[in-house]
Structure 1
Amino acid sequence: MNESPLPNTDDCAREPIHIPGSVQPHGVLFVLETAKLTILQVSANSGILIGREATELPGTRFLQLIPDDAQGAVERLVRDAATTYVNPFRVPVAVGDELKFFDGIVHILETGETVVELERDPESPRDMESTEGLDNYLQIVHRSLAELSGVCHARDIAAVMAREVKGFTGFDRVMIYHFAPDYHGMVIAEAKEPEMEPYLDLHYPASDIPPQARELYLKNPVRLLQDVQAVPVPLVPALHPQTGAPLDMSRAVLRSMSPIHVQYLKNMGVAASLSISLVVDGKLWGLIACHHRTPRFVSYAVRATACLYAIVMSAQLKAKQASLENLRMSSARRMALDLITGLKDYSDPVGSLGGTLPAQRDLFKADGAAILSPQGLRSEGSAPDDLELISLRQQLEKHRNEGILISHEASSLFPSLAEGLPRAAGLVAIHLGEQAWLVLFRDEAIQRVKWAGDPNNAKSRDASGTLSPRSSFAAWQETVRGQSLPWPDSTTQLTTEVRSGILELVRKRNILLERSNQDLRRFAGIIAHEVKNQLQSGIMALSLLESRKEGMDSTVSQLAGLASTSLTNLAKFTNDMLEFSETEMNSNIEDIDFAKMAREVVEQLEASGRTEGAEIQILSLPRIRGPKSQMEHLLSNLVRNALTHARSESKQLRIEIGTRADENGDTVIYVRDDGRGIPPEKRDKIFEYFFSDRANKVKGTGIGLAFCAQVVQRLGHRIWVESEPQAGSTFYFSVSPAND
């Protein structure tokens, strides 16, 4: 027994269902040259339905089929139908000695030709009045709207629709089918004959209604298949006689159906179907799917009425959903506003978010929450452990340009989270600038999904290789793991507003801090200038006094030495303060040969004797873009910091200046030493103003590294340190590459 190969669902998705080249046999289709209404193409069943063979009609005028006394009215209707709402209209056709009446439906192709379709109920050859649907339209709409006055949920609205459409159209089964975001569908309401098997709550794979079919449902919202056993009728000629192209039947009501879809319905035991689109905000929200166990014709008037009804009900779906979302968002906004307002009095809004994590969980209906930043981690509720959070923060940095991530299947984005299930199955991550993230988590929600047949076997191939739909629609249950409940549609808007509020607080706080820093720099400059002027004479006097210490009392000599040392240190502090105060002075951005700058900095330090007992190696360095004088001070401070604080008495100090790319691909320059290292408890403080490591008995002003942080952060970059006690330290700072 030969096994057929597994189907490729792309084959189904590529099926050109808009150009089948054939029509259903209960009507005749004409393609007319618009100016003279000359027949270009006609369906091959014209001989059966209107008594004129298809091979005879191309080149003749369509109006020749109409009795003389009706030609003027029919021509006017044909020409007006494409731009007005006269469809359908009565079209009399002389068939031998008999006058038959058809429903006429007209549309204009994008290429300019006119398509006329003549429909007639194959079971009712009597004259047609075409008013059966429209007479009842206002009645069913009024009744439905009255029922929906106290209804808010889509399922309740769908239940009303299913019941009304079944009563209106007479089909055995009417289902309301709703598309999920991935376009698999679910039956959310059903009205059926009592003896029929229920399909309510069954899911259908997206491949059952492929993309091109969904597109056609937007172009032509009503589709009738009168008899699945009927043999499609080809066009004559098969291709357009002038262009040689197949006819685009996207808007044709007689368009024959895909053989795969027809077989699908046969496998379900369906003999006739009617589908009506439910469109919300321009997108296909779902379908009204009607099935009948015997062939069933529904006039265009009834279909048009059903279509109008669907439009009204789609508007109700939109309005009710919008009302629910507005209520949810109004409540959520109030909570978010309270949260953000509560942060405005903090000097560090991001850092203070840790205290709001319980409220953040309530706001987002989450099981856990965490703040991830270079300064530390803080979590609340059902969240990954610290090591997992550190790993997650590093992975999130690859998505920082996106700003917000929302997923109910977080392990698909971050596979490491799969090991921690059932925690963190769903995730909302909000980037707060720098390397800080607010993350909300949802636990795994094990779901049991009932499918109409095994979705893995939705399509198969027979021995000849022909693609066929599944033959079994028995309920098939799937257990879905590794996912949380989906986040509400409003989550994107809510996260955007929360993020904007927090970033605005950070921005305002930074403005205040920058103003304070400017004031501090100005104040430092003024004080430094005044102190420097006062120090010069004192240092000179003490130096002169020390030079004459012969014969001087030893106590006086010792006091003079101490005073000279203190004033010299104070002078150094004054110079650092002046340097700090001038960080804004020369901030012109330019391209910099950083390797050349590094050599000049090292040469200056060597000339001053500060590099004695140390080896400095300069590796390959890039050209960068930034303020030249500040970047030079930055590098000089980092190297001097290593020379001052990293030395140990047991070995020669090695300093390396180099570059690398970080995990985000940004250019990073580093200054590395193999000295005494920095204790963990002091690493977070070394970039603070006036911090000095007294324990190492090395004197410093505590301004140098604060200056480095100022320069880097003002340029929109980051600076950080990695260190181990007795194993050295590496200072990193990111830079902008020079223009090519």
Structure 2
Amino acid sequence: MSNGIPSESALDLSACAREPIRTPGAIQPYGMLLVLDPASLVVIERAISQPAVLEAHGDPLGQPVEAVLGGALASCRAALAELAPDTTRFLGAHAIAGGCTHQVLGHRVGDTLMVELEQSVPGEPGSLEDLYPQIRQFMGAIERLGTTTELCQLAAELICELTGFDRTLVYQFDKEWNGAVVGEHRNNELLPSYMDLRFPESDIPAQARALYRQNRVRLIADNSYQPVPLLRSAERAEGAPTDLSPVMLRSVSPVHLQYMRNMGTGASMSVSLLREGELWGLISCHNQQPMRVPYHVRTACEFIGQILSLQISLKERALGVEQRIARRAIQVRLLAQMAGDTDFMSALGRDAKSLLALTQSSGAAIVHRGACLLHGECPSQAQVMALVQWLAVQPHEGDLFQTDSLSGRWKEAAAFSGVASGVLAISISQVHDSFVIWFRPEVVRTVRWGGDPRKDTGGPLSPRTSFESWKETVQQQSLPWDAVDQDAALELRTAIVDIVLRKAEEMAALNEQLVRSNKELEAFSYSVSHDLRAPFRHIVGYSELLWSSAQDKLNSSEKRFVDTIVESAKSAGRLVDDLLSFSQMGRSTMGQINMEMGTLVEDVRHTLEMEAEGRAITWKIAPLPRVEADPGMLRLVWQNLLSNALKFTRDTPAPAIEVGHERTATEDVFFVKDNGCGFDMRYVDKLFGVFQRLHHSDEFEGTGIGLANVHRIITRHGGRVWAQGELGVGATIFFTIPLHHGDTA
């Protein structure tokens, strides 16, 4: 050990994080420290490095503050007595006999009252006002700067000029407390440039960062100073160590002094940069030779640091507000898509560009009720579903999960790190494994460290014995998700949950309304079947009786009247029967089985042979597949379609009817084509409506309900119905049945 500082071999780097840096029991030798009893203002501890002061005024221990140091502090007694807890107050410059002028500060930490006397530096400014022109110039310049980087660079230049340090850095912490140099200015080439280098979290342990939050300025004037011990009165010998947190002269850890020597700096000063009370970074000043910075210059630097902190907060907040407004506009577009759609999750993906822009992602997956929709650059569906299973059992804060290095937490993700190293996911159901997941690709980048953070040279201060630039290649990591990204995702989740709840309420109200409507419909059906059908039967029956008993007495006009009554009553009866069938079709239970469509079509065709009325009809029926469907309902579909084809080819000289089939990736498409009278495509939208007819009843009989029944049946099977036609050429009616697992041609 030399000069009171342990040798490097005696230092333990890990102990630095545990060292009592607030209570070192010593000060740097550039002034004096007196600890007072707060009630009597009597000195109970002291640290004085100058023997001449003790020789001139004696030991201050046990003396009231107004009597020590030849009465130099008598004028400070009232201010010290009124000092509030956890505050510091500048008490002016005071001349000490046997020494020189000292800048005097009073500190109150809980019940501890301290007087710090710091030696003046020759030629130092007399007050902060002497430095105000440079501060005002800085304040004017920062208003014209647009970015945080420009602010940091300007602050580095001004503080380097004010203090005269060889090098000044502005150092920003990341979320893991590694630091990156974002601004630098050097007055000379004595110290190397550290611009853009990163330094590991271990360089500034957590308890040191806590002190930086409390004290905005910290100066170490000489890395080889001789600590001055804090001596106590006899009655306080066994008391707890005194907290010297606010004291500028407080001695520092021997490990940190060795760190400075390793870096090649004889003196250093730091100015804390706080954003909303949290440590954002540091202004770090270095000098090759020992150097003291006067009190008023340090105060000016602290003021500049506060201005810079405020500007950083304003710039970042303004940028955040701007980004949030842009994301909110995107969210409004997405919600507009979702709110007006019954399948709101599918609607969410219809504007894939907005979905990705919401979180600045390159890909997104929507997983809901077993379905998986992919947009942009994503892993495969199988990989996404495996990720969902993994996410479902992961602990995460609230309903959001985020990482910029998925493979570091789930090794299987290494297989698709190229498209999804970063994952941001929101859970949208407490019952099902339903997620909206955003992906960011791997960004391979090079990080320049100030020394290899993994290197072990064998010494106890390793790895910080070297500050040479060391490059690390970072892989399987994406750009990080910031607070704006995460908040945008959470807001979308809240909106989705609100839509789900609203849809649930609407569905409950609709179900209640449907129950009432079904009861009314059942009552109506009963009324139709018993109250309407019976009168029509009576009309037909009595009209036929009238015809048989009085036909010889009726003239031709009266006979035509009776025929019209009979046909109208029969037509009304058929209409009532069809309407009853249509109402029952929507309420009947579907019994889907795997059935042979070709057999069903042949059976229906056979039953309709009488409607051909002896005409020579050319039938062309293609091989048809098996399908999953309700056979009774599909029989009604084919009866309607084939019956219509027979009816509308009645006046065709060479009638031909074709039944065909095509298979796509998702459904079977069937069609019935005829060469009959056809229809005008301008009215195709009316074709499948109830009571809609495109031909006069005098030409072709019917009630206009048959195709409406077809539409309802196919829709209940999850299929589609449409038509094509041309007047005088013919018509084709298409319908689809969705494919099921195991369907074969």
- Taking a change above 3 Å as real, the CA distance of residues 401 and 162 of structure 1, as seen in their structure-2 partners, is closer
- 8 Å CA contact 2:57–2:70 kept in 1: the answer is no
Q: Kindly state the Cα deviation for residue 485 of structure 1 after the two structures are TM-superposed.
A: 1.3
| Aligned twin of 2:434 | 436
In 2, the alpha carbon distance for the partners of 1:518 and 1:93 equals: 92
1:289 Cα offset (Å): 0.3
Q: 1:89 aligns with which of 86, 89, 92?
A: 92
In 2: Cα distance, 1:292 partner to 1:422 partner = 45
User: Who is 1:370 aligned against?
Assistant: 365
How far apart, CA to CA, are the structure 1 residues paired with 2:319 and 2:454? 36
CA contact (8 A) 1:357 1:379 kept: no
The residue aligned with 1:73 is 75
TM-fit CA distance, 1:331? 1.7
Distance 1:240 1:309 in 2: 44
Instruction: Report the Cα distance in structure 2 between the residues aligned to 1:503 and 1:325, rounded to whole angstroms.
Output: 25
Q: What is the deviation of 1:194?
A: 3.6
Aligned to 1:403: 399
Distance 1:190 1:428, change over 3 A: same
Contact 1:445 1:481 (C-alpha < 8 Å) held by counterparts: yes
- 1:509-524 → structure 2 map (5 Å cutoff): 509-524=503-518
Aligned-partner Cα distance in 1 for 2:461–2:88: 40
Please state how far the C-alpha of 1:336 moved relative to its aligned partner. 1.6
Query: Does residue 488 of the first structure (1) align with residue 482 of the second (2)?
Result: yes
- Quote the offset at 1:184 in angstroms: 0.2
Residue 153 (structure 1) aligned with residue 147 (structure 2): yes
Decide whether aligned partners of structure 1 residues 218 and 461 sit closer, same or farther in structure 2, where only a CA change above 3 A counts: farther
In 2 relative to 1, CA 88–217 (structure 1 residues): closer, same or farther, beyond 3 Å? farther
Q: Which residue number corresponds to residue 189 of structure 1?
A: 183
- The one of 287, 290, 310 aligned to 1:315: 310
Deviations 1:414-434 (A, max 9, x none): 332111121101111122224
Change (3 A) 1:270 1:218: same
Task: Assess, with a 3 A threshold, how the Cα gap between structure 1 residues 231 and 401 changes in structure 2: closer, same or farther.
Answer: closer
Quote the Cα distance in structure 2 between the aligned partners of 1:435 and 1:265: 54
Residue 296 of structure 1 pairs with residue 298 of structure 2: no
Whether the 8 Å contact between 1:263 and 1:469 is mirrored in structure 2 is: no
Amino acid in structure 2 at the alignment position of 1:310 = G
Structure 1 residue 461 displacement after superposition: 6.2
Alignment match, 1:421:
417
Instruction: Give the TM-score of the pair, scaled to structure 1.
Output: 0.66
Percentage of matched positions with identical amino acids: 29
**Contact 1:432 / 1:502 at 8 angstroms: preserved in 2?**
yes
- What do residues 226-256 of structure 1 show as CA deviations (whole Å, max 9, x unaligned)? 1111111111139981762111111111111
1 CA distance for matches of 2:160 and 2:424?
42
Q: List gaps (5 residues or longer) in structure 2.
A: 1-7, 531-580, 590-664, 668-715, 717-739
2:270 corresponding residue in structure 1? 275
Paired residue for 2:449?
451
8 Å Cα contact 1:50/1:94 also seen in 2? no
Residue 29 to residue 152, structure 1, CA distance change in 2 (3 Å): same
1:265 aligns with 2:236: no
* 5+ long unaligned stretches in structure 1: 537-569, 579-679, 683-701, 703-722, 727-740
Residues in 2 aligned to 1:403 and 1:9: alpha-carbon distance in whole angstroms: 40
Counterpart of 1:498 in structure 2 is: 492
SS at match of 2:138: helix
- 1:608-623 aligned at under 5 Å gives the runs none
Query: C-alpha deviations, 1:175-211, integer Å up to 9, x for none?
Result: 0000001100011000013423210000000000000
The answer on whether the counterparts of 2:428 and 2:493 sit within 8 Å (CA) in structure 1 is yes
Alignment-mate amino acid for residue 97 of structure 2: A
User: Contact 2:53–2:69 at 8 Å: present in 1 too?
Assistant: no
Q: Offset of 1:266 from its aligned partner? A: 0.6
- Give yes or no for contact 2:407–2:417 (8 Å, CA) kept in 1: no
RMSD: 3.6
Is 1:339 equivalent to 2:342 in the alignment?
no
The number of aligned residues is 535
Matched-pair contact (CA < 8 Å) for 1:216–1:250: yes
Contact 2:88–2:106 under 8 Å retained in 1: no
Q: 60, 65, 72: which is aligned to 1:62?
A: 65
Mapped to 2, the partners of 1:246 and 1:85 lie a distance apart of: 20
Offset of residue 533 of structure 1: 12
Residues 348-387 of structure 1: matches in 2 within 5 Å?
Answer: 348-387=343-382
> Which residue of 2 is the match for residue 26 of structure 1?
30
Trace 1:460-609 onto structure 2 (pairs within 5 A): 462=459, 467=461, 470-524=464-518
**Distance in structure 2 (CA, Å) of the matches to 1:263 and 1:30:** 28
Residue pair 1:445, 1:483 contacting (<8 A) in 2 also: yes
Q: Which amino acid aligns with 1:90?
A: A
Matched ranges for 1:122-271 at <5 A? 124=122, 131-137=126-132, 139-195=133-189, 196-237=191-232, 241=236, 244-271=239-266
Contact kept in structure 2, 1:528 and 1:577, CA below 8 Å: no
Q: Equivalent residue for 1:35? A: 39
> Does the Cα contact within 8 Å between 1:80 and 1:86 map onto a contact in 2?
no
Structure 1 pair 296–82 and aligned structure 2 pair: CA distance change class (3 A): farther
The CA deviation at 1:359 is 2.2
Any idea what SS the aligned residue of 1:61 has? coil
Q: 1:480 to 1:51 in 2, by over 3 A?
A: farther
Work out the CA distance in 1 between the residues paired with 2:276 and 2:304: 17
Secondary structure in 2 matching 1:289: strand
- Shift in Å, 1:325: 1.7
Q: Distance in 2 between matches of 1:130 and 1:401?
A: 53
3-state SS, counterpart of residue 143 of structure 2:
helix
C-alpha spacing 1:40/1:386, structure 2 compared with 1 (3 Å): same
- Helix, strand or coil at the partner of 1:58: coil
Say if 1:227 and 1:8 are closer, same or farther in 2 by CA, change over 3 A.
closer
CA distance in 1, matches of 2:261, 2:124: 32
Which amino acid in 1 is paired with 2:43?
I
Alignment partner of 2:250: what SS? Answer: coil
Alpha-carbon distance between aligned partners in 2 of 1:67 and 1:46, rounded to the nearest angstrom = 15
Q: AA paired with 2:90? A: N
With the length of structure 2 as denominator, give the TM-score of the two structures.
Answer: 0.66
Counterpart Cα distance in 2 of 1:62 and 1:207: 42
Helix, strand or coil: the match of 1:456?
A: coil
Deviation of 1:113 (Å): 2.2
Cα deviation, residue 212, structure 1: 0.2
Matched position secondary structure for 1:207: helix
The aligned residue for residue 51 of structure 2 is 47
Tell whether the 8 Å contact from 2:337 to 2:348 is kept in structure 1 after alignment: no
Over 3 Å counting, the alpha-carbon distance change for 1:518 and 1:52 in structure 2 is: farther
- Aligned residues of 1:350 and 1:506 also touching (Cα < 8 A): no
Indicate how the Cα distance of structure 1 residues 164 and 236 shifts in structure 2: closer, same or farther if over 3 A, else same.
same
CA contact (8 A) 2:427 2:493 kept: yes
* 1:299 Cα deviation after fit: 1.8
How has the CA–CA distance of structure 1 residues 53 and 342 changed in structure 2, closer, same or farther, with 3 Å as cutoff? same
- How far did residue 260 of structure 1 move? 0.9
In 2, Cα distance between equivalents of 1:416 and 1:525 = 56
